[in-house]
Every structure is written in structure tokens, then in C-alpha cells.
Amino acid sequence: MSSNSSDLLQSVIDAHGGQEYWESVLFLAVEFEFSGLALANKGHPGPHDVKIIVDTKTQKVTIEKFGPYYGSWSPDRTEVGQIGSPDPLDVRENPRAAFDSHTYDSKWDAHNLIYFIGYAFWNYFNFPFHLQASDIQIHEIDGSTPENGEKWRTLEVVHPDGYPTHTTVQKFDFDAEYRLRRLHYSVDVMKSGLPVWHTCYNHAVSGKFIYPTLRVVNVTVPGKSFFSPFVLNNITVEPIYL
């Protein structure tokens, strides 16, 4: 990790409340509306009202409500139940392996869905602090990205094999206030290989933690139109302290 990369990440961490503050945060209570064409394509059309508890100290998300479902995610286990059902939670061990036989057109069962939203939301809402993990490599891209009269700085992030995230190599764009404005990646479990532009808008502050209240995911399919497979709208985040 170069000095510039380290300095940029430190500035981003400071802008999001700082490490000392983050160490006092045990969980994040997050609510939003989740919608998009990809949900319908995978067999779970929205919009869905979402309530989750994101663990900041270990890789775990408790899903209090995702449409008709509740349950939990961790990298090696998903638990899923139907809200209002007396049946016990259904458990799947090693849930990532269930995607191995999938194609782009495969439908998702409830465990596939919970695995996807679990790892995605854990990464989104533990950002940027989770990038400090010793097995994650970061590198600042030379030069800035011009965007609507602004100059954004970019970190390239390389995750280790097996890390629960969209794909191994991702890029994160920051504005002059060190707010996350855009992510660049692809989604391995979607089996499409298409590049994704995930743009963040309308940042708010809760406690000292800064976060976007709107996230819009966009892709361009070759030979087809530009579209948004996922949208996270009206996001609220409430830190729960030690």
C-alpha cells in the first residue's frame, strides 16, 4: 500500500467519523426501500421494505424484514424464515457454493437472495472501515476523475480469495469531502460479468457516521439499453453503541 493510498483511506475514515468513533459503534440499524429489475428477474420482484442490523465487529447481518422474509447472513451460513410463519428458520451452510451451478438466467431461492443482500449490505454499511483489514490491498489510481466540474480520487481495492463481496477487484471514487460517490465492480453471483456503476447520492450524517441516502446501480448491456438493476432509496442509518 503506497503512502498516497494510505493517506487517502485515512482521510476517508476521518470523514466518516474516525476510527475511535467507529470502535464505539457495535451495530448499525438500517432501513430503506429496495427495488430494481434484477430482483424481478431473479424471482423476487419489489419494491421491498428492508430493516437490517449490521454487525460492525464481525461479518454478520440480521435481516429483520426483507419483503416477506427475515433471517440472517454470515459468510458460511444463511438462515431464512417467512414473516408470520410458525415454522423454524431454514438453514443453509456454505451458501456461496449454491451459486456454482447458476447461469445468468437462474432464479434465486430465498437463501440465494439472503446471501446476496447479506454480503452486499455488510460491505456497503461497514464502509470504509472494513477496508483496513490486513488481507485487503488498496492502491490509489494515478490522476483524478473529472465529474461535473469536480475531481474525484479513486482507490482500487483487491480482496483476498473467498472474501464475501461482489468481485475481487473494485474501485471506489471519492469527492473533495472524501464521501463515496461511485463504486465500480461486477457481480460474480449474477453470472453476467457486466461492469456495474453504483452511484451514491444525498449523503447524511448519523452520530458521526456519514452515508448516502440513495444508491443507484447501473449497467449497460452490450446491444441493449442502459438500465438500473437495483436501487436503495430513503436509506436511514442509526448507530447502536457499545
Kindly tell me the burial class for residue 237, based on how many C-beta atoms sit within 10 Å of its own C-beta (0-12, 13-18, 19 or more): buried
In tens, the pLDDT along 146-160 reads 888 889 999 999 999
| CATH 3.30.565.10 is held by the domain 3-241 | no
In tens, the pLDDT along 61-71 reads 999 999 999 99
pTM of the model: 0.95
| Nearest residue to 125 via CA among 209, 24, 18 | 209
Length of the chain: 242
For the cut 70, the answer to whether the pLDDT of residue 161 exceeds it is yes
Name residue, grid cell 415454522. Answer: 87
